[in-house]
Amino acid sequence: MFFFLAGQAFVPLLGVEADEALFGMAFLQPRSAASVHIGHSTFPLMLMSYMGTLKAWIYRPILRWFHPGVWSLREPMLVAGAVSIWLFYLLLRRTAGERAAVIGCILLACDSLYLLTTCFDWGPVALQHLLLIGAVLLLVRFYQEREPGSLAGGAFLLGLALWDKALAAWMLSGMGIAALGLFWREIRELITPRRVVVAVAAFALGALPLLKYNTRNHWATFRGNFRSDFSEIRGKGQVLLLTLNGRGLFGYLTDEDWQTPVPHQPIGPLESASARIAAMAGDPEHSLGLYAFLAEVACTLTLLFRRSFRC
């Protein structure tokens, strides 16, 4: 609830950004990369080789019911972000206990980068986060309860995430490598031919539009978006560090005060209070996120070492 309410203060502040409105191409300018024709109707499936129309289909009834604008555009993604935080809480409660779940939920709900990128759906990323967290929650539930429906649901959501934006493959591969490296023994015990068929079928169903597009276009998604390129690795590293220390969006969504000849003054009690608090804190532009991340890595390695030593 805090996350959703905090987002209300940012909804009207900026005009529509290109990424968050990109899905409109599917219906306002039907120049999609792939579509299905049924009778006299055309159903777009892909906007680009790496971006599907899942968000477009979600927004089609919303924009029919509500006047298109920043509120109808951003409120659904704030809801998606709030739901993703609740799912994150459920995931942590299953894996680390109630106390860790409450702390993790509070930290994520107060993360300004998570709030802003969700509100303005910069990327777009809001549906990606929701689908991936939901998928991991269902897969953990399958491991704990051996429920086939959870396996199918988790695999289906991963397929949807890949259809929504094929670049999710980078996150999926990262999570997969980490899971295999840390929990191979537990995963191996779960593998049976029937479960493999269920998982593959559910995943393929979720990613069906993407698969259909690629089978007809010589796997253009993977040929055009998945290749080794180390030329930008330094820039990517800088973005990662800026994200970890909280400076990732400074000067990106809006200019900073020093970049503006006449900065706007705070309007209303909320903005005025925020400006006063920032001034009292010395107008900080970074957080302790990087140090917290390094401490977390150190703690994780320590726990893994102790676990291996006991084994």
Q: What is the rounded average pLDDT of the residues 213-233?
A: 76
pLDDT in tens, 59-112: 989 988 988 888 989 999 999 999 999 999 999 999 989 999 999 999 899 888
Residues 41 and 74 in one domain: yes
Q: Tell me, what's the pLDDT at 283?
A: 76
pLDDT in tens, 185-208: 888 988 899 999 999 999 999 999
In a domain, 59, yes or no: yes
Q: Higher pLDDT residue, 152 or 219?
A: 152
Comparing C-alpha atoms, which of 40, 43, 62 is closest to residue 53? 43
Give the residue from 179, 206, 225 where a domain finishes: 225
Residues 169 and 206 in one domain: yes
In a domain, 152, yes or no: yes
Sheet strand arrangement including 51-52? 34-38, 41-48, 51-52
In a domain, 271, yes or no: no
| CB-count burial class (<10 Å; 0-12, 13-18, 19+) for 86 | middle
Eight-class DSSP state of 11: T
| Share of residues in the chain with pLDDT > 90 (%) | 30
pLDDT in tens, 282-309: 777 777 777 877 888 888 788 777 765 5
Phi, psi of 31 (to 5 degrees): -115, 40
Statement: residue 271 has pLDDT above 80: no
Give the E-state strand segments of 104-161 in sequence order.
none
Comparing C-alpha atoms, which of 59, 52, 55 is closest to residue 34? 52
Whether the CB-CB separation of 22 and 10 falls below 8 Å is answered with: no
Whether the CB-CB separation of 180 and 191 falls below 8 Å is answered with: no
Range of the domain at 240: 236-259+283-311
> Of how many residues is the chain composed?
311
In a domain, 230, yes or no: no
The whole-angstrom separation of Cα 155 and Cα 172 is: 11
In a domain, 266, yes or no: no
Q: What is the rounded average pLDDT of the residues 223-238?
A: 74
Confidence band (pLDDT; 50, 70, 90) for 267? confident
pLDDT in tens, 102-122: 999 998 998 888 898 899 887
Q: What is the rounded average pLDDT of the residues 147-166?
A: 93
Q: Which two tokens stand for residue 149?
A: 């429906």
Q: What is the rounded average pLDDT of the residues 156-163?
A: 95
Q: Tell me, what's the pLDDT at 82?
A: 95
The whole-angstrom separation of Cα 43 and Cα 30 is: 9
Please work out, in degrees rounded to the nearest 5, the angle formed at the alpha carbon of residue 86 by the alpha carbons of 81 and 88: 90
In a domain, 196, yes or no: yes
